[in-house]
Structure 1
Amino acid sequence: MLKKKILLGQFGKFFGIKGWIKLYSFTQNKKDIFLYKKIFILNNINNIFFIKFFKYKIYKKNYIVKFNNFNNINEISHLINKKIFISYSELKKYKNIKEYYWYEIIGCYVFNQNFLLGKVTNLISLKIYDILIIKTNLLKVHKKKILIPFIENYIIKKIDLNNKFIQVDWNL
């Protein structure tokens, strides 16, 4: 099994009776899931099975996909709800130094000046910018989570992925 894998999407239920299945892409641009060449699923004992899409169509806000030689629902039933991955080494290179993958940001410690606010547990994507979700145990008065807009140079002052910390200018 691969040690470093990145979640790209997940299959849903089958669509019709001719071998189509729903696909939920977790990539920022949903269509980018089709750009990766070595995508795979894991079975129940974590064995890797590489998959290759034959056709895809837009369905509502996601896709339906078909595989070559799978022509009915019995042949794709084992894919229902399976997660789709790529290995860490398959990630596209950064377009520039100021772009980050979410998995790199999750787990970073967030500091306001020299005060630890907490640790990034997730992000939310909005139309204008992303939001850092920070879990904190330090403030009894404040809720257990702090939400901070991911706006570089204004709120996000420094990101050090090697040391897993983010410097922010944010008042509670």
Structure 2
Amino acid sequence: MNILKEKITLGKFGKTYGIKGWIKLFSYTQNKKNIFLYKKLFIQKNIKNIFFIKFNQYIKKKKYFIVQINNFYKTEEIINFINHKIYIFKYQLVKYKDKQEYYWNDIIGCHILNINKVYLGKVINIIETKIYDIIIIKSNNLYKKNKKILIPFIEPNIIKNIDLINHIIKVNWSL
């Protein structure tokens, strides 16, 4: 198994900010500030070349952070970070002790069966709303081929069972 394929995207760098080595950071973690709690974050320049990053300082802006990284204090030192995704190795994620908590990347790729054992499709994404998360399923149904199905992630009313070992989610949902 290639360890570089077992990575999770936690954020992305944007444009440089000012002249003292600051760069915009967009966090993809649920609590945006939690990106600063992870160790061994990295960017991947190509298939074999990864670069570990460490945040020296950060400042919260409205929809992003500005950060200084790896003791770089000049714009020309960080210009190569623009638009790079920020990763962590999957094995470094904290395993939840509570079986009711999941990482989104554990849910993406799971197959969806309804309570009548009808196959609805495969989870391709999850979106967050203010009320509840919504799983997006690519349908394989003959009549809805390649259509997307949106199902609210509400346990236990709609999401009945999540089996991460077999990658199957049972739902109370019909087409």
TM-score by length of structure 2 reads 0.93
Percent of residue pairs identical: 60
Of the structure 1 ranges 91-100 and 29-38, higher mean CA displacement relative to structure 2 is found in: 91-100
Q: 1:34 aligns with which of 18, 36, 39?
A: 36
Q: Which runs of 5+ in 1 are unaligned?
A: none
Distance 2:105 2:71 in 1: 34
1:67 is displaced (CA, Å) by 2.1
Match of 1:102 in 2: 104
Of the structure 1 ranges 55-64 and 88-97, higher mean CA displacement relative to structure 2 is found in: 88-97
Of the structure 1 ranges 91-100 and 5-14, higher mean CA displacement relative to structure 2 is found in: 91-100
Q: CA RMSD in A?
A: 1.5
Distance 1:57 1:7 in 2: 21
Distance 1:69 1:162 in 2: 42
Q: 1:14/1:95 Cα in 2 relative to 1: closer, same or farther (>3 Å)?
A: farther
Distance 2:19 2:101 in 1: 41
> What is the SS of the residue equivalent to 1:138?
coil
Matches within 5 A, 1:12-161: 12-112=14-114, 113-140=116-143, 144-161=147-164
Q: 1:114/1:58 Cα in 2 relative to 1: closer, same or farther (>3 Å)?
A: same
TM-score by length of structure 1 reads 0.94
1:95 is displaced (CA, Å) by 4.8
Q: 2:12 aligns with which of 10, 13, 19?
A: 10
Distance 2:48 2:154 in 1: 38
Alignment: residue pair count = 172
Distance 2:70 2:41 in 1: 15
Residue type of the alignment partner of 1:42: Q
